Structure 1
Amino acid sequence: MVLTVGGSDCSGGSGVQADLKTLLALRVYGASAVTTVGVQNTRAAATLYAVPAEVLAGQLTAVLDDLPVLAVKTGLFPSADAVAVVTGRARSGGLPNLVVDPVLPDEGQGVSRRAVAAALDRLLPYALVATPNRDEASALLGWQVATPGDMARAAEELAARGPKCVVVTGGDLVTGTEALDAVWAGGEFRYMSAPRVAARNTRGSGDVFATAVAARLALGDGLLDALAFAKGLVARAISDAAGWRLGVGRGPLDVFGWSAG
């Protein structure tokens, strides 16, 4: 069983909706704690409505005090206070196999992106895995992660802040025919790669990746095996969704393999 902590996307393409679909596809039971309600679709960026910190805390207590959670994945936080709620639970040892996908809110709407990034820095030491994309890694580190070499350096620097493993995802970085991720684990560095798929439907790919890692950890996979599985799943799900026309903008991934038959 996996608990996902993150934002709600009413269009179903990202956030906890994408997480729960991914868990269902992988035959893992999923529970959720919602941090924000997002008004969004494939065309428009989200208008975020933050769930009060005490309500988030209540959701965590309701799930963790009753259900056999084997892994936890976090996504979007709307405030430093929301991050602090989860950090408090992690500090007590109550968040097993914690996968932190450090999704950052856009500046504005009463939200401080910088404050959330600083708060995430205090959650990272409790993470088994952190999975920032290049933009998120740049915000956490304070310098621009622009190249595969930068991704490698960023993974090492973020690992020094406490996570046992860091994956800097680079699917948006055009580097030829391969989609590269930089992995720092066990004091060693490596790249993960998969064939690049030219497709517009990539919405929620970071959510799917991090959730798949959590799912495979909950099922008993070793860390590197879980990462490799998640990388392959995202590549297949993007490819399978290439022909979808759900909305006029960037659509979701096909985590179920429906298009493959």
Structure 2
Amino acid sequence: MKKYRYISVLTIAGSDSGGGAGIQADLKTFSALGCFGASAITAITVQNTLGVTDIHSIPAAIAAGQIRAVMDDIKPSAIKIGMVHSAELVVTIAGVLRDYPHVPVILDPVMVATSGDRLIQSETIEVLKKELFPLATLVTPNLDEAEILSSMKVRSVDEMKLAGAKILDTGCHAVLIKGGHLQGEILYDVYLENDGYEQILKTDFIATSNTHGTGCTLSSAIASFTARGYDLSEAVQKASQYIHQAIAAGRDVKTGEGHGPLNHFFEPLALIKHELD
């Protein structure tokens, strides 16, 4: 009897009790894009569409154990990293991932929630840059995070490019700076690789408050497409399309009283249909 393997992806991230971001958004995205999702939880947040009221970090040894359990058995084809709350967790995760150097790592440096709540300890940021960035295939900061990581103001596409170059100096292979906070009729993301390759991605602005978990979903979509065998730049393009359609499909849905989630399950398999024909 012929046996098949699922295309699997591991998310290393925090849990969002509201279901719109973090582990919950990651697993929805993996499933929507035809991948099997596994998880290593780094923190439990007390959270809903209105904001984050508390964070409980998972012990570093437990986080490491979750990662090894998945890597040694399920053997995912890509890894997404989201919220890593403490320096101890960063160092521990980096130590584990060095044992699996051939698996692509998509790192979303989660620092500030959509609600504005801070999700990372200040002293963790430098450790994150030193320990995890050199292991990352791609880092995906939003504008606020790009400013923190590059120590400069980022208010234009040109400044996004400059910030991206500074972030590449940390040792990551590529960076995608998300420009969604520069609201206008057209939104711009800047993708840079350390070999000098550059691409500007453009999408139409969608007026909605349902943007909770956008960054988590984007990085998970990139990891999914990478696991499916797309090269990194194409995975970024396809993930951008997926995010835009997921926002559009969920723009008028009422979920909670604050920033609602995307619609992860609109009809995403159309993006990979040619693989299935």
Q: TM-score range by the shorter chain?
A: over 0.9
Partner of residue 103, structure 1: 110
Kindly tell me the number of residue pairs found equivalent between the two proteins: 257
CA contact (8 A) 2:20 2:212 kept: yes
**SS at structure 1 position matched to 2:34:** coil
TM-superposed deviation, 1:47: 1.1
TM-score, length-scaled by structure 2: 0.88
**SS at structure 2 position matched to 1:193:** strand
Provide the C-alpha distance between the structure 2 equivalents of 1:251 and 1:56, rounded to a whole number of angstroms.
28
Q: Percent identity, aligned pairs only? A: 34
Partner of residue 26, structure 1: 33
Residue 83 (structure 2) pairs with residue 87 (structure 1): no
Partner of residue 7, structure 1: 14
**SS at structure 2 position matched to 1:132:** coil
1:149-203 CA-to-partner distances (Å, cap 9, x unmatched) read 21111111111221111000011212x3111101102312221111111111000
TM-superposed deviation, 1:141: 1.9
1:38 aligned residue (12, 20, 45): 45
Distance 1:83 1:95, change over 3 A: farther
Q: Which amino acid aligns with 1:40?
A: Q
**SS at structure 2 position matched to 1:172:** coil
Partner of residue 266, structure 2: 257
Provide the C-alpha distance between the structure 2 equivalents of 1:109 and 1:165, rounded to a whole number of angstroms.
25
Provide the C-alpha distance between the structure 2 equivalents of 1:152 and 1:221, rounded to a whole number of angstroms.
24
Unaligned runs of at least 5 residues, structure 2 = 1-7, 268-277
Provide the C-alpha distance between the structure 2 equivalents of 1:248 and 1:4, rounded to a whole number of angstroms.
28
Q: How does 1:207-226 map to 2 (within 5 A)?
A: 207-226=216-235
Partner of residue 165, structure 1: 174
CA contact (8 A) 1:102 1:120 kept: no
Provide the C-alpha distance between the structure 2 equivalents of 1:79 and 1:105, rounded to a whole number of angstroms.
14
**SS at structure 1 position matched to 2:51:** coil
Partner of residue 112, structure 1: 121
Unaligned runs of at least 5 residues, structure 1 = none
CA contact (8 A) 2:137 2:172 kept: yes
**SS at structure 2 position matched to 1:146:** coil
Q: Which amino acid aligns with 2:35?
A: V
Partner of residue 148, structure 2: 139
CA contact (8 A) 2:84 2:120 kept: no
1:45-64 CA-to-partner distances (Å, cap 9, x unmatched) read 24110001111011111111
Distance 1:228 1:108, change over 3 A: closer
TM-score, length-scaled by structure 1: 0.93
Distance 1:81 1:108, change over 3 A: farther
**SS at structure 2 position matched to 1:93:** coil
Provide the C-alpha distance between the structure 2 equivalents of 1:42 and 1:108, rounded to a whole number of angstroms.
12
TM-superposed deviation, 1:94: 4.5
Distance 1:238 1:212, change over 3 A: same
Provide the C-alpha distance between the structure 2 equivalents of 1:167 and 1:132, rounded to a whole number of angstroms.
7
Partner of residue 190, structure 2: 182
CA contact (8 A) 2:68 2:96 kept: no
CA contact (8 A) 1:89 1:95 kept: no
Distance 1:26 1:220, change over 3 A: same
Cα RMSD between the aligned structures? Answer: 2.0
